[in-house]
A and B are shown apart, each in its own frame.
Chain A
Amino acid sequence: MNYEIKLDIFEGPLDLLLYLIRKNEIDIYNIPIALITEQYLEYLDIMRSLNLDLAGEYLVLAATLIHIKSRLLLPPVEGEEEGEEGEDPRTELVRQLLEYQTFKEAALSLEGRPLLDRDVFTRGAPAEEPAAEEQEEDAMIEVGVFELVQAFREIVSRLDHSEDMAIDTEKMSLTDRINEIMERLTEAKELSFSDLLGERTDRKRIIYTFLAILELMKLRVVRAYQLGPFGVIRLFLAVEG
């Protein structure tokens, strides 16, 4: 499912920082920045030496730590006061850490709940194994944006050119279209582009439908397959295999 390699247990730079704070038994409200920065950078070195693709976020936090350290070293600027006797440069970081820690706790408490299909079960639901479907999919080609654009063009070209240019007051929202498509796909399992358009094929509806499909494909909630070259493009819900 996830292709990224994670060093040990760290879910990100904040997680690593929290780990260091806990390991050193440090008061989170009074972080010795020099010590923590040093250890943090050591960990980054380890990660790099293991050839792990270091996420940019780790470097951003490293920069933040060094910035805070340098600000702590500077004598307070007299005269030009920022806030009341200058804010502790660590405040923002501490606030962020505490917030993250709270949500880590929230995640643990969620995981500790009696989870459906792990701890509690409902009455014998059919096993979700659509084995037959998979064979069928072999014959299909997953399509990209270009094929979709082609299909879009075809449908637009079929439009009655005498379409009125009246400004209609009916507001169509992309969100509504997305939700409608999701609903219909959940029901029907698979639909073609023209199925989705339905009877009313005015330009606006086509465009909104097209945009909605692109958005859903981008989010990888929906997959588009084509039955052979130039075949009908069909849309499926992207369900985990």
Chain B
Amino acid sequence: MKEKTTILEALIFASEIPLTPDRAAEIMPDTEKREIVTLLGELVRQYEVRGGGICLAEVAGGYQFRTRQDLAPWIRKLKAARPAMLSPAALETLAVIAYRQPLVKSEIDRIRGVDASGALKGLLEKKLVRIVGRKDVPGKPIIYGTTKKFLEVFNLKDLSELPTLRELKDLQNDGGEQQE
């Protein structure tokens, strides 16, 4: 393993949050960001090839070690805590926000056909959604958007990693099962 790759590996290991290439470049001033991104990609592949219990995941614009998905039952036993799950209402609301952001609450209500206040409150508390600003119309309604934590929790590199609404529509038309 090259020296720089080992440094990056250690940085990711020690970091509490996903390590961004920008942050890594700050710490390693002699290395260009471009090179860091390449090295990080290499590191991801190394972990893939190794096929161990840990993956190097690209989430929320950074890199973080995460356990392999199929090992979840073991880790859950270790943690002995039930994972906090989102209700269907919260998930629907979150989906609307993720795809339509930035948007106001009335828009969420309109799409779902029900009042989203409760679900919205839960999402704000869980920090999956945040207040982005206020719309410049009478009443100055609050505009909502998703957070970085949303990307972390849902294992997303960035928002563009979400399947497009068109892809989801096609999925429905095939009458197929939802993909993983």
Binding site for B on A (CB under 8 A): 1-2, 4, 9, 11-15, 55, 57, 61, 96, 98-123, 127, 174-175, 178-179, 219-221, 238-240
The interface on chain B, measured as residues whose beta carbon lies within 8 A of the other chain's beta carbons, has a size of 57
Question: Is the pair A115, B134 in contact by a Cβ cutoff of 8 Å?
Answer: no
Question: Is the pair B113, A14 in contact by a Cβ cutoff of 8 Å?
Answer: yes
Knowing A102-B168, A113-B156 are in contact, say whether A175-B113 is a contact too (CB < 8 A): no
Q: A219 — which chain B residues lie within 8 A by C-beta?
A: 121, 124, 131, 142
Assess whether B1 is interfacial by the CB under 8 Å rule.
no
Question: Is the pair B168, A109 in contact by a Cβ cutoff of 8 Å?
Answer: yes
CB nearest neighbor in B for A60: B113
> Which of the residues A13, A121, A123, A178 comes within 8 Å of B113, measured between beta carbons?
A13
Q: A105 — which chain B residues lie within 8 A by C-beta?
A: 168-169, 171-172, 178
Cβ-Cβ contact count across A and B, 8 Å cutoff: 147
Give me the 9 closest cross-chain CB pairs, A-B, nearest first. A12-B114, A14-B113, A106-B95, A118-B83, A107-B91, A107-B95, A120-B66, A105-B168, A107-B92
Assess whether B28 is interfacial by the CB under 8 Å rule.
no
Question: Is the pair B13, A96 in contact by a Cβ cutoff of 8 Å?
Answer: no
Counting chain A CB atoms within 10 Å of each CB, the highest count among B81, B83, B87, B92 belongs to B92
B82-102 CB contact bits vs A (8 Å, 1 = yes)? Answer: 011111110110111011000
Listed by A's residue number, 16 A-B pairs whose Cβ atoms lie within 8 Å are A11-B89, A12-B114, A55-B115, A61-B113, A100-B112, A102-B165, A105-B169, A115-B83, A119-B72, A121-B66, A122-B64, A122-B65, A175-B131, A179-B131, A219-B131, A220-B121
